[in-house]
Structure 1
């Protein structure tokens, strides 16, 4: 565990010392909510503002992009040599992809949580009284996305290919789940399709927690996210090939 802890620490510091990712992690969700919330402000009421809607949905959208961070942490050229050295240390090979997943998860979760606090202060975004449960849902999506990014690298063995696929998956999920705009805006048929999607269920539970203090579906939803994350982590272990990958 000591060696795994040191590797996790190193992967976390690699992300922390990358100014591009630091600016992206801080600026991407904040600018998204600020700009889109301002542009659509007149379309929402006084008790439920555009910032209330996008302060939730676009933060989950940002969480979906965590996969690009984990892909970078796994496959960036300057990190590959460190990964290669890890293969010849007395650790299990499964610890390498797991360390990338956890480091990215912790890195993005810390900064995204900070941005969420800033949004509450600047735009009075309503996260309700069940804010810890809401944060757990967000953290679950964040971890699942981080796991998916590592899995894409293990499968395609290329950061570029992994990020291209992740970008497509992320935006398709975001549009169909109504993260970028309400699904009802595209008609009744699209709205019904959107409501049947798993991420739409997560967002629905999130708004139930905020506005109804209704946590009836919370545990089941969180368990589903956890199960998906475990499947993705297990798949990463099965597809990671060590020297052949690096």
Structure 2
């Protein structure tokens, strides 16, 4: 891992200037929270407001949308026309993939924390001393989102075809997870469909943690995300070929 930290430094500098990552993970969720919170302000109470609800559901949803941005970030060498340098440089594919993974995961996590801090200051969300658990959950979601994004961008030969269909499952997961409005059902089949969305468990975990003092769902969800994200990242390392940059 001799060249890992040099590659990580380059990756963080690139991600800190990446318009799509910064806009869709800081500006976009902040604006949507304020807009939807205002439009539905009369539909919620005073202890749990519409701004509280959309802060909880919109940050994880926007983070999931980051899969596409991460997939494009994985193709930096093609975009910046530096592919041949990386092919000739004495760096391993593990160093290359992991440096991309950590640089993207770090920036996404920072974006989430910034939005969470803005929401705390503006809407006075009562974290009740559980903010560390919530940040842990966001970081774990970042791990799986970054892993999927890197796998699509580096290991999939037909990413150009896949990217046209990415928005559909993301939107479906968002809808089932209640990103646009609360959703639930007493029908067992519909409840099963709703539970298929990872955002359902993210949002349930946050609500249970803050308002019920129950961190069980949040911790289990975080562990699952970490494990799955790590496995997908290892698969990206295994199937990555430098020739994909050309």
**1:171 is matched with which residue?**
171
**Where in structure 2 are there 5+ consecutive unaligned residues?**
none
Stretch moving more, 2-11 or 12-21: 12-21
Describe the SS at the equivalent of 2:81: helix
CA distance in 2, matches of 1:19, 1:223: 30
- Quote the residue 2:180 is aligned against: 180
Distance 1:93 1:78, change over 3 A: closer
Work out whether 1:124 is the aligned partner of 2:124.
yes
Structure-1 residue corresponding to 2:95: 95
| 1:109 has 2:109 as partner | yes
1:143 counterpart = 2:135:
no
Q: Is the 8 A contact 2:61 2:199 kept in 1?
A: no
TM-score by length of 2: 0.88
Q: Contact between 1:66 and 1:104, CA under 8 Å: does it hold in 2?
A: no
Match of 1:70 in 2: 70
Alignment gaps of 5+ in structure 1: none
| Inter-CA distance 2–126: structure 2 relative to 1 (3 Å threshold) | farther
In structure 1, what is the Cα distance between the partners aligned to 2:175 and 2:22?
26
1:41 CA drift (Å):
1.1
Aligned partner of 1:85 in structure 2 is 85
* Maintained 8 Å contact 1:87/1:242: yes
Is 1:232 equivalent to 2:232 in the alignment? yes
Pair 1:31 & 2:31 matched: yes
Query: How many Å apart are 1:151 and its aligned residue?
Result: 0.8
Q: 1:224, CA displacement in angstroms?
A: 0.9
8 Å contact kept, 2:29–2:115: yes
Deviations 1:70-127 (A, max 9, x none): 1221225764533442222222112222222211111121122111101111122333
Please give the alpha-carbon distance, in whole angstroms, between the structure 2 residues aligned to 1:94 and 1:167: 29
Give a deviation string over 1:117-158, Cα, whole Å, max 9, x none.
Answer: 011111223333211011101111112111111111124446
Q: Alpha carbons of 1:182 and 1:132: their partners in 2 closer, same or farther (altered >3 Å)? A: same
Shift of 1:2: 4.3
Shift in Å, 1:50: 0.8
The aligned residue for residue 4 of structure 1 is: 4
In 2 relative to 1, CA 105–158 (structure 1 residues): closer, same or farther, beyond 3 Å?
farther
CA contact (8 A) 2:83 2:245 kept: no
SS in 1 for 2:215: coil
1:22 is aligned to 2:6:
no
Contact 2:3–2:95, Cα closer than 8 Å, also in 1 = no
How many pairs does the alignment contain?
A: 245
* 1:43–1:50 Cα contact (<8 Å) kept: yes
Q: Contact 1:69 / 1:146 at 8 angstroms: preserved in 2?
A: no
Tell me whether 114-123 or 213-222 shows the greater mean CA deviation: 213-222
**Secondary structure of 2:126 counterpart:** coil
SS of 2:3's equivalent in the other structure is helix
Report the TM-score, using the length of structure 1 for normalisation.
0.88
